[in-house]
Amino acid sequence: MYVTNDVDNTVSMYTINPTTGVLTPTTPATVATGVTPVGVTADPAGKFLYVANQNDNTVSVYTINGDGTLASAGTVTAGNEPESVAVDPTGKFAYVANLANATISMFTVNPSTGALTPNSPATVATSSQPLVVAMAPSGKFIYALSRENNMLSIYSVNSNGTLTAAGTMAVNNPESIALTGATQ
């Protein structure tokens, strides 16, 4: 388990007891991130971890070691105030919700290192102040949630990892998104 700590700019790392669910801090117990880490996600294979760092406009990239500790694999610049990260089910593409400039950054994932390379175009516009970006389990759609204007933006995912706007819908005071495997 990985937990962002925005005050001290770290990620806490834990192993989980498979019988009891009890968490045990790894050694070391934390790893440094960028400034104000807020969103964290792992790729589907459990090889890489991505952390959105709100106050330095970066995403920290880590490899996940066999003991659950993280090794820094660098950073990449995202948009203005990145809030959350989503990785597609194949692990080929990553997406970052950028709060202050109302965009989603689109990246291609290096399968060997986890490094993120901006797609062309590098961003797509979304509703005002997106807090969360979430990938449908099918990998066909991305959803971006905007609290400021109570909107959910929907995008279809193209074969090259870029996004095409597919519509919006009003939601009521949104905070988070959860998708089930039944989502197409």
pLDDT of residue 127: 87
End-to-end CA distance of the chain: 27
pLDDT of residue 148: 87
Please say whether the beta carbons of 39 and 82 come within 8 A. Answer: yes
pLDDT of residue 10: 98
pLDDT of residue 184: 53
The amino acid occupying position 183 is T
pLDDT of residue 90: 96
Please say whether the beta carbons of 62 and 48 come within 8 A. Answer: yes
> Collapsing DSSP states into helix, strand and coil, what is residue 42?
strand
- The reported pTM is 0.95
Per-residue pLDDT of the chain (184 residues; tens, 9 = 90+): 999 999 999 999 999 999 999 999 999 999 999 999 999 999 999 999 999 999 999 999 999 999 999 999 999 999 999 999 999 999 999 999 999 999 999 999 999 999 999 999 999 999 889 999 999 999 999 999 998 899 999 999 999 999 999 999 999 988 899 998 764 5
Domain limits, the chain:
2-121
- Find the length of the chain: 184
Q: Which of 153, 163, 162 is nearest to 132 (CA)?
A: 153
| CATH T-level assignment (fold) for domain 2-121 | Methylamine Dehydrogenase; Chain H (2.130.10)
